[in-house]
Amino acid sequence: MGTALVYHEDMTATRLLWDDPECEIECPERLTAALDGLRQRGLQQRCLCLTACEASEEELGMVHSPEYVALVRRTQTLDKEELQALSKQFDAVYFHPNTFHCARLAVGAALQLVDAVLTGAVHNGLALVRPPGHHSQKEAANGFCVFNNVAIAAKHAKQKYGLQRILIVDWDIHHGQGIQYIFDDDPSVLYFSWHRYEHGRFWPFLQESDAHAVGQGQGQGFTVNLPWNQFDPELVLVSAGFDSAIGDPEGRMRATPECFAHLTQLMQVLAGGRICAVLEGGYHLESLAQSVCMMVQTLLGDPTPPLLGLMVPCQSALESIQSVQTAQAPHWTSLQQNVAPVLGPSTRFPEGRSLPLLAENPTYEAAEAALSPLQGELCLRPTPPICTAVALAVPGAALALPPGVLLQEESALREETEAWARLHKSLFQDESLVALGKILCLLGGILDGQVRNGIAVTAALATAATVEVIIQRCLSHGAQRLLCVALGQLDRPLDLADDGRVLWLNIRGKEAAVESMFHISTPLPQTTGGFLSCILGLVLPLAYGFQPDVVLMALGPAHGLQNAQAALLASVLRGPAGGRILAVVEEESILQLARTLAQVLLGEAPPSLGPFLMASPEEIRALRLLKAQLEPRWKLLQAAAPPPGSCSPIA
C-alpha cells in the first residue's frame, strides 16, 4: 500500500497559441517541472506510477451538459483564429486542438486515482494534470479549466462506490466556484475552499466566494469552512493548487513549500487516510515543483519539516475565520459554542530552512527577490534510515507490533545508563535498568537523526523517572525546546527550570490550570467533542506555536486514553517537531495501544473516535478559561476552532 502518481505526458500537449498575458502562465512546463522535481528527489520512484486514460463522454456527462462536451470536442478541428474567437467567449480560457484530449486525460487521471484508492490498491495519491478543473462549470470553461476533474471524481466516488460523505479541500489560491456551483445543494459533498478574496477584488471577483455562501437547499452548511473532524468523510479529494506558494506570479502570496507538507498531514487524519489530490493551479515552476514534492513526500509517510517563521496569525486572517464561523453557525451546532513571545528557529536541527525576512506587506517583486536564493535549495529532510523503533521492557509484547517497526535491542553503554539511573536510585532496578538502557539508545537515535520516532515502554513505577531522564537527556544533548504532553499520573519534574525550554502540558486532573506559560494542565475530556476541541483547539496550536525540536508524549499510569484517542494525539504531534516524537507508555496498557501507536507513527491514519458526543459545559468552560489565559503568549490559540458540539448540521 503506497502512494499513486497518475500522469500522462500527452497532457503537456496543449499550450497557448497566441498572445495573452493572462493565460500564458498555464504552460506545459508546469507538469514537466513538477515531475522532474519528484524524479530528482527520488520521490517518483517510490510511488506507484499509473498512466492516465481518457475519461469517457459518459463520465464527463456526470457534471457537464452534452452540448458543452460537444463544443469542446469540436475544438479539435478548429484553426487558430476560430480557437481564439471561441476562447474569448469564456473568462481566462484558451483552447488548443489538443485541449479535448488533454482535458479528458485530466478527468481520467482523477478517476483512476479514486479507483486506486477506493479499491485499496494504494493509500493515497496525486494526479498531475493539465488543464486544471475547479473553475469549470456545467456548460462553461473558466480560469484555464475545461472539465471539472475533481467534481467528476466526487460524482464517480458516489456513483461507483456508493460513498455518502466526501470532503473536497480546495487549497488553490482561487475560489473553485465551479465545484461550489455543482455541489451547492448536495449535502453529501462538503466543499471547503480557502482562497484569496480581497473583498471581491481578486479573480474570479465573485460575491459567492465570500463566507456567507454556505450552500443552498439541502446543501446548506456544506459549502465552505469547517474544523476538519466533524463531517467524518469517507474520502478526501484535494483540489491541490499551488498558486498560493511563495513566488507565484498569479497568487502573490507567501506559503512556503513546507506549508503544503503540513496541510497534507492534517488531512491525513481524516477518512482513514484516503486522500486523492488533483493538481489545479501553480505557476512558478520551481516553487510548484518544491510544493508538489512536499505534498508527495508527506503522502508517502515521510516526516514533515518544521514550519518556521512567526507563529502569529494576522488580524485579517482572524477576521476571515470569525466571519466564516458566524456564517456557518446556523448550520452547525458545533460553531454555536463559540469561544470568544515568539521564539527563534532552532539551530540544533538545521533541516528546516530559515526564510528571508520580509516586510509586513512585501511587494511581489520583493518576495520573489527574496525567494530566488532559495531556489533549488529545498532540502527535503534526509529521511532517517529507521522509521519507528520500539523499546520494550516486556519482550512478549513484541508479538503485537505491526510489521515495519524495529525492535530496539541495542542499549546505551552500561556506565551511561547507570549514571542516569543513579539520579533516581530507588526506581531503576534489574529489568527497568535494562529498559532504560534501550530507551536511552532509542532517544539517541532520534536526536541523531537515525530514527524518526519511537515508542518506549516502561514499568508503571518507572514511568515518571524515565520521563525525567528523557527530558534531561534531551536538554543536555542540544534540544532547545521540548514539548511534553503528559497524561495520567505524571507530574512535571520538580527541579525542572521554568525557562521556556520545556513546555509541559498535562492532560488529566479535575481543574484547568495555568501554572505558568510553560506549565499547563487541562482535564481529559470525556466526550468526543471535548476531546477533539482539546486536541485541535489547544494541543495543536500550542505545539505549533512552541516550535519544539522534540515531542515527548507520555502516557503514565491511569492515563485513561482510549486507543483511538491516543492515536489521534500521536498523529497530530507528528507535525510540529519534524516528526521527532517519542511516546512513553507504561506497560500496563501496552499490547493493543503500542500496536495502534506504532501504526500511526509509521504514517497510517488513526482509527475513528467512534460515535460523536457533544462537549459538556464543563469541558467548554475549561477550554475557554485556558484560552483566555494563554492567548497573550500563545497567539495561535486565537485562530483555534471553538469546541464542537455536534457532528452533523442542524436539520
Would you name the residues annotated as active-site residues?
Answer: 135
Nearer to ligand X5A, 183 or 420 (CB): 183
Instruction: Give the shortest CB-286-to-ligand X5A separation in angstroms.
Output: 17
Select from Zn ion, ligand X5A, none the partner in contact with residue 303, using the beta carbon and a kind-dependent cut-off of 5 to 8 Å: none
Whether residue 609 contacts residue 531, with contact meaning beta carbons closer than 8 Å, is answered with: yes
Nearer to Zn ion, 169 or 490 (CB): 169
| Helix/strand/coil for 280 | coil
Instruction: Give the shortest CB-180-to-Zn ion separation in angstroms.
Output: 14
Select from Zn ion, ligand X5A, none the partner in contact with residue 196, using the beta carbon and a kind-dependent cut-off of 5 to 8 Å: none
Instruction: Give the shortest CB-108-to-ligand X5A separation in angstroms.
Output: 18
Instruction: Give the shortest CB-419-to-ligand X5A separation in angstroms.
Output: 59
Select from ligand X5A, Zn ion, none the partner in contact with residue 474, using the beta carbon and a kind-dependent cut-off of 5 to 8 Å: none
Instruction: Give the shortest CB-145-to-ligand X5A separation in angstroms.
Output: 6
Whether residue 604 contacts residue 388, with contact meaning beta carbons closer than 8 Å, is answered with: no
Note the residues at the interface with Zn ion (CB under 5 A).
172, 174, 241, 243, 281
Up-side HSE of residue 301: CA atoms within 13 Å toward CB?
25
Select from ligand X5A, Zn ion, none the partner in contact with residue 191, using the beta carbon and a kind-dependent cut-off of 5 to 8 Å: none
Q: Taking the CB of residue 346, how many other CB atoms lie within 10 A of it? A: 20
| Phi, then psi, of 615 in degrees rounded to 5 | -60, 145
Nearer to ligand X5A, 21 or 611 (CB): 21
Select from ligand X5A, Zn ion, none the partner in contact with residue 144, using the beta carbon and a kind-dependent cut-off of 5 to 8 Å: ligand X5A
User: Which runs of E-coded beta strand occur in 479-558?
Assistant: 482-487, 502-507, 513-516, 519-522, 550-555
Q: Residue 140 carries which DSSP code?
A: B
| Phi, then psi, of 91 in degrees rounded to 5 | -90, 120
| Helix/strand/coil for 453 | strand
CA gap 542, 631 in Å, rounded: 10
Q: Which residues contact 406 (CB under 8 A, 6 or more apart)?
A: 386, 387, 388, 389, 390, 451
Instruction: Give the shortest CB-206-to-ligand X5A separation in angstroms.
Output: 13
Select from ligand X5A, Zn ion, none the partner in contact with residue 606, using the beta carbon and a kind-dependent cut-off of 5 to 8 Å: none
Nearer to ligand X5A, 143 or 643 (CB): 143
**466 membership: H or E segment, kind and range:** helix 463-476
Could you give the C-alpha distances from 357 to 109, 309, 510, in angstroms and in order?
Answer: 40, 9, 44
Amino acid present at 194: W
Nearer to Zn ion, 174 or 331 (CB): 174
Note the residues at the interface with ligand X5A (CB under 6 A).
22, 92, 132, 135, 143-145, 172, 174, 203, 241, 243, 250, 280-281
Using CB positions, name the residue nearest to ligand X5A: 281
Nearer to ligand X5A, 174 or 559 (CB): 174
Tell me how far apart the 2 most distant CA atoms of the chain are, in Å.
88
| Phi, then psi, of 353 in degrees rounded to 5 | -95, 150
Nearer to ligand X5A, 278 or 370 (CB): 278
Instruction: Give the shortest CB-327-to-ligand X5A separation in angstroms.
Output: 24
| Helix/strand/coil for 49 | strand
HEC letters along 367-424: HHHHHHHHCCCCCCCCCCCEEEEEECCCHHHHHHCCCCEEECCCCCCHHHHHHHHHCC
**377 membership: H or E segment, kind and range:** none
Give the sign of the dihedral formed by CA 574, CA 576, CA 577, CA 581: negative
Whether residue 39 contacts residue 336, with contact meaning beta carbons closer than 8 Å, is answered with: no
